[in-house]
């Protein structure tokens, strides 16, 4: 029988490239004539955002913006906000030999400082980082069956989570909202944050149908007295994303990220300033996995001819857990040193998330950043920021290594004042996770049989071998150039590892 092999493959997700570039934020801001003078600055922030990106040759070119916003008090003790948008381009070199077609690009604030240089001027110095990551589908070939020329093979069947598709898309959403509940015109935006959550994903005809929501929180000054009003709205997200190689049997791991958001007060047709324009750039990324059973040859040899094997270690992934849940964070923020008497605005601007495995299971933990505008015992306005830690636990028992990229978004928040100027917060967090189990397996990628080098056939028809406890029948068969099937048949035992010392009859094949 001629020697032949059958091959299979496993597709996994690998990071083909990741890199970053820093950009300095330096600006000298002069307030326009209609804004009052600065007496005291409460807060200065610089929030970067990505508008577009494209791959050109060996680099990624991004068009970015940075929203510099100052929150200050005027001579009359009123609260005012002023913002200025800085536009810039940034390039990140692709230090990868592999072709890159799809990338995820984001930006973060490293630090921001300010200095008041006059009653109507302030300087801002800071830095932001633009980062990029490219995931790629890498295909590993392996031998699933080998036969002929006296070849005997040891195989293993394993369930794998095969990466079938990678999909990414950046899109914009916008909406004009009427602030009908307000009795006075909107002055300016003093705080804002936005998060995008996934409500539903359907796969059909190599397309992803995405439904979600953009959750926007904002605080405005209203009327001549510049009182603070909070506003929250949700904008529907409906998108169709092209996803070749994706089918209805796939399980989809998906992420939504707000790249930038712009909130602007607007005049209506009657000339009243009670509308607000909201526009956001959102990035979507997804991985499609299909579970199937793969047979892999882990070892082989020929009883007739000399043979050589090439082996490779690869990581096999399988879905261990998939969850989507709503978690309620109950936390306290100590504001006892602030002299706070009244909270004007409470907003959760960011949430961090990390995944860890412990003896009792797995956990997603991190911190929610709470931004608080309040009035102190002297009647002055002030700003405070507090971190609210959280931990969400999952009951997962696995001996293998587990990985997860949790996605956590704040969907609602509220507070009540406790004793001693303690703020008791209630933060609703949407948590999504796709837990993958990773195991390293050694597989055979190539078998070569050299028919010009026949094995020595001058051996006894039957050999007596005294085996030790714990020995593998495969190792014994390979040592005596026979097969496991022949040994088990001759000795009426089962394949595997010997549970105790014994005498074996080793037949020639």
Of 379, 409, 439, the last residue of a domain is 439
Report yes or no on 309 lying in a domain: no
Q: Does residue 459 surpass a pLDDT of 70? A: no
Report yes or no on 118 lying in a domain: yes
Instruction: Please give the Cα distance from 509 to 486 (Å, whole number).
Output: 8
- Specify the pLDDT at position 114: 94
- Specify the pLDDT at position 96: 67
| 45 and 83 housed in the same domain | yes
- pTM value? 0.86
How many domains does the structure of the chain reveal? 2
Instruction: Please give the Cα distance from 129 to 24 (Å, whole number).
Output: 9
| 212 and 357 housed in the same domain | yes
How many residues belong to the chain? 509
Report yes or no on 500 lying in a domain: yes
| 491 and 394 housed in the same domain | no
- Contact criterion met (CB below 8 Å) for 69 and 44: yes
| 463 and 348 housed in the same domain | no
Separation in Å, CA 54 to CA 17, 90, 282: 15, 11, 16
Q: Does residue 6 surpass a pLDDT of 80? A: yes
Over residues 112-136, the mean pLDDT reads 93
Q: Does residue 354 surpass a pLDDT of 70? A: yes
pLDDT tens readout for residues 203-234: 988 899 999 999 999 999 988 888 898 999 99
- Specify the pLDDT at position 497: 87
Burial class (CB in 10 A: 0-12, 13-18, 19+), 446: middle
Contacts of 406 (CB under 8 A, 6+ apart): 353, 354, 355, 364, 431, 432, 433
What's the CATH code of the domain at 468?
3.10.350.10
Report yes or no on 185 lying in a domain: yes
| 358 and 477 housed in the same domain | no
The SS3 call for residue 74 is: coil
Q: Does residue 100 surpass a pLDDT of 80? A: no
Higher-scoring residue by pLDDT: 108, 459: 108
Q: How many helices (H) and strands (E) does the chain have?
A: 2, 22
| 358 and 490 housed in the same domain | no
What's the pLDDT band for 99 if we cut at 50, 70, 90? low
The SS3 call for residue 256 is: strand
| 32 and 176 housed in the same domain | yes
| 25 and 73 housed in the same domain | yes
The alpha carbon dihedral of 487, 488, 493, 498 has a sign of: positive
Report yes or no on 70 lying in a domain: yes
| 508 and 364 housed in the same domain | no
Mean pLDDT of the chain: 90
| 174 and 245 housed in the same domain | yes
pLDDT tens readout for residues 259-314: 999 998 887 766 667 889 999 999 999 999 999 999 999 999 999 999 999 999 88
Of 389, 412, 439, the last residue of a domain is 439
| 376 and 420 housed in the same domain | yes
| 464 and 354 housed in the same domain | no
Residue closest to 204 by CA, chosen among 240, 156, 256, 158: 240
pLDDT tens readout for residues 368-388: 999 999 999 888 999 999 999
Of 439, 469, 491, the last residue of a domain is 439
- Specify the pLDDT at position 401: 83
Domain, as residue range, for 392: 11-136+163-289+319-439
Structure tokens at 45: 């922030």
């Amino acid at each position: 029988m001629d020697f032949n092999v059958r091959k299979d493959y496993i597709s996994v997700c690998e990071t083909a490239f990741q890199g970053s570039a820093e950009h300095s934020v330096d600006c000298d801001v002069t307030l326009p004539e209609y804004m009052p003078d600065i007496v005291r600055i409460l807060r200065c922030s610089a929030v970067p955002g990505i508008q577009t990106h494209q791959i050109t040759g060996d680099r990624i070119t991004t068009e970015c913006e940075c929203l510099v916003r100052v929150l200050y008090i005027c001579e009359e003790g009123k609260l005012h906000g002023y913002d200025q948008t800085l536009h810039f381009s940034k390039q990140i070199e692709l230090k990868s030999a592999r072709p890159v077609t799809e990338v995820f690009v984001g930006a973060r604030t490293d630090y921001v400082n300010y200095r008041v240089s006059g009653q109507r001027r302030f300087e801002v110095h800071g830095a932001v980082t633009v980062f990029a990551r490219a995931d790629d589908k890498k295909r590993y070939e392996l031998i699933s069956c080998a036969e002929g020329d006296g070849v005997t093979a040891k195989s293993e069947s394993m369930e794998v989570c095969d990466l079938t598709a990678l999909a990414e898309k950046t899109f914009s959403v916008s909406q004009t909202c009427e602030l009908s509940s307000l009795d006075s015109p909107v002055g300016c935006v003093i705080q804002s944050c936005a998060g995008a959550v996934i409500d539903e994903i359907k796969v059909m005809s190599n397309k992803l149908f995405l439904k979600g929501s953009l959750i926007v929180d904002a605080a405005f000054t209203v009327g001549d007295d510049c009182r603070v009003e909070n506003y929250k709205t949700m904008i529907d997200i409906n998108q169709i994303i092209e996803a070749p190689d994706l089918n209805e049997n796939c399980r989809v791991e998906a992420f939504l990220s707000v790249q930038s958001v712009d909130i602007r007060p607007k005049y209506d047709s009657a000339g009243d300033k009670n509308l607000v324009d909201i526009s956001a750039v959102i990035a979507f990324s997804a991985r499609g996995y299909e579970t199937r059973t793969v047979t892999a040859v882990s070892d082989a040899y020929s009883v007739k001819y000399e043979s050589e094997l090439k082996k490779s270690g690869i990581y096999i992934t399988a879905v261990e857990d998939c969850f989507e849940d709503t978690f309620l964070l109950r936390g306290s923020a100590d504001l006892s040193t602030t002299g706070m008497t009244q909270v004007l605005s409470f907003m959760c601007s960011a949430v961090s998330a990390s995944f860890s495995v412990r003896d009792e299971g797995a956990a997603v933990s991190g911190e929610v950043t709470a931004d608080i505008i309040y009035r102190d015992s002297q009647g002055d306005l002030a700003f405070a920021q507090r971190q609210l830690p959280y931990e969400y636990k999952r009951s997962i028992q696995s001996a293998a290594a587990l990985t997860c990229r949790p996605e956590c978004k704040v969907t609602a928040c509220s507070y009540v004042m406790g004793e001693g100027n303690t703020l008791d917060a209630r933060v609703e967090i949407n948590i999504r996770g796709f837990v993958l189990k990773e195991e390293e397996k050694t597989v055979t990628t190539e078998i070569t049989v050299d028919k010009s080098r026949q094995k020595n056939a001058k051996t006894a028809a039957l050999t007596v071998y005294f085996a030790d406890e714990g020995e593998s029948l495969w190792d014994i068969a390979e040592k005596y150039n026979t097969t496991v099937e022949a040994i088990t048949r001759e000795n009426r035992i089962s394949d595997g590892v010997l549970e105790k010392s014994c005498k074996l009859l080793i037949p020639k094949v």
